[in-house]
Amino acid sequence: MTVPVRYYCPRCEAIVTLEREASMADKSVTADPLDGWEYARAYDDFEDADGVEIVCGASETDGGGCGRVFYLNFVKFEDGEELDPPVALRPEDAPNFDFRR
């Protein structure tokens, strides 16, 4: 059974509506793709994808939009365990191997 589900663009907060299966589990909406996730386009069949690539302002958007791409990420499992995407370190959090200091 498909249902309309609404999401906010993480950049401009336009509302996007996708028709999708009610049983699909959302993980997050992000401005950038998650490492290791494979994305389908919003107008393609995304049942077997790890997420959906959405263009804000395209036909799925309820009026207006910024025209930039954002990502709906589904819960992903491997060997029965939920996967968390790797988190990139911010430059200020990265280890510093400059031993001259």
Q: Tell me the mean pLDDT per 10 residues along the chain, length 101.
A: 90 88 90 92 88 86 82 89 68 59 56
| 68 inside domain | yes
Beta bridge partners of 15: 8
Which pLDDT score, from 0 to 100, does residue 40 have? 94
Number of domains in the chain: 1
Please name which of 84, 79, 5 lies closest in space to residue 37, comparing C-alpha atoms: 84
| 89 inside domain | yes
Quote the CA–CA distance of 45 and 65 in Å, as a whole number: 23
| 16 inside domain | yes
| 101 inside domain | no
Quote the CA–CA distance of 71 and 36 in Å, as a whole number: 13
Quote the CA–CA distance of 7 and 11 in Å, as a whole number: 12
In terms of residue numbers, what domain contains 39? 2-93
DSSP code of residue 91: G
Which pLDDT score, from 0 to 100, does residue 88 have? 54
| 100 inside domain | no
